[in-house]
Structure 1
Amino acid sequence: MAADKQVALVVGASRGIGRQIAIDLAKNGYAVVVAAKTTSDASKCFPFPPDPNSSASTINTVAREILEAGGDATPVQVDVRDFAEIQSLVDQTVAKYKRLDVLVYNSGAIWWSSVEKTPMKRFQLMQRVNPEGLYGALQASLPHFYRNEGAGGKGRGRVVVISPPIYSRFLRGKTAYAMGKFGMSALTIGYAMDLEREGRKEVAITSLWPAAAVESAATQNPQTDRSQLRKPTIFSDAVLAILRSPHKDVNGKTLLDEDFLREHEGVTDFSKYTLVPGTTPRRIMPNAFPDLRVKEQDDEGNRMDSTALRAKL
């Protein structure tokens, strides 16, 4: 691997959007660690490549796709419900590539229903895979970001989280799922504040969500109208745009793929992303979101630090 090649860890990269992100990062010169729970013997996969939204698509087949296209990829199995496995994943990444520059957290458990019809086991699964898994992946990655060369010795690194802007309508009919996804967005906003306070101007975290539905493993059901879907390349293009954007434009932001590509990258024609040619997928996200900032935003008052308190005990 070339010494100047950046290293991206994509968690939840076996199928759908995660697979597309991993493949397009590799096409753009990143060494990619392809991580998820599902594995297989990619050498015996036929036909190859498999349907990217099927169970035949695994971290091994995705890594094979990247390698056969001339890219650099390593598959590593991980169960994000186990922090020890997450730590091992990051350790293996750095042991092989000697660095970590980008973390994309795409792992997700989904169950859309009312509170009454969401069993406790489903609720717990979503919280463990979604916000808890992200928190663990971020915790394990931070020391390596901070060791990277950056302005003022404060490190360098980027995190992209697959979670939405925070607004009330998202809770309708899927409260348990939204609780976890909002937790992920809260981590994006809160960690960005930590970075600002610490003066880490080359480490940034961003949340990203589709403006219109995207073809993925989650949309492979009879309820989904294929004409209302976009290709996952719109999402990977937005991820790449975030990674090359200035810190101030993305840190702590909860963005939508279409809006960011239009407003920041100047994209005006989105027809190339349409899954069914000649159709216009319906926008599923609002056109504007509430501003969560308050007048007293910068007034921290007497901020308590539990770490400092414990050190005195």
Structure 2
Amino acid sequence: MRATVISEPGGPDVLAWEEVPDPRPAAGQVVIDVKASAVNRADLLQRQGFYPPPKGASDIPGLECSGMISEIGPGVEGFAVGDHVCALLAGGGYAERVAVPWQQVMPVPEGVPLDVAASLPEVACTVWSNVFMTARLRKGETLLVHGGASGIGTLAIQLAKAYGSHVLVTAGSDEKVRRCLDLGADEGVNYREEDFAEKFKNRADVILDIIGAKYLRKNVAALATGGRLVVIGMQGGTVGELDLGRLMGKRASVSAAGLRVRPVEEKGVICRGVVQNVWPLISAGAIKPVVYAEVPMSDAAQAHRMLESGEHIGKILLVR
């Protein structure tokens, strides 16, 4: 098969579309003939040499895909050859075929085109596991989403609104803030022009943060009493100062979590939660996947340049 390989750490030009061995399904795995994958910031970090795949995972980038099951290994439950599916991956999505544990495979939501379904696994599993499973966002509470125009942000806005929450966002331009409001956000801040910590002071019951250390102090300021800060990214650094006195005064908490390195069983629990709780909202039209562009899978370098430009809103897909 053909796949995108990383010849050496570096810029987008180190990505090459080459012949590689076909995957074979091990016990508990299926092989998916890939229709589309999606570009995530973790892929950029892997390309640069900063985020190697977990032990045993494919060196090929790509953390999600959609397509049709073509082979099934022993011990697989609930799937058959020919099923149209999407999947959460530890790697391997930028390829014509990928092997994946059946627990991380999900049916395509009703009404979603097969290529567009590739935009959903990573963002849906990230938002569901962090905002709802870990931070326990409840109806009537307020969620602050950083990077509201990102793939994760656009889904988090819609899912939180569908569950009856008030949604605050930050984004990097007035246009992106407007798009977030169009998706259902109640209030937004262009972080280049306004301090979100001042505007949203003591208001957020849950914060979904992709920035990390740079926003730690401001996030604590924005938390309401009993608030929960969930850090899922480190674009603003890994080491910051935490005012424990202020945190204790608010009876607030901070947690941090990744998705890629979790055990298969944990990912399976998350995927089943997504199918049960998120897919029906997508099929009903309450949540709409937001796709910025579709790029040929053989030109992953161009898709990486798009993501690095910061101009996108929603997901960038790689399609065959």
Q: TM-score, normalised by structure 2?
A: 0.35
Q: Which has more strand, going by share of residues?
A: 2
Q: Which has more helix, going by share of residues?
A: 1
Q: TM-score, normalised by structure 1?
A: 0.36
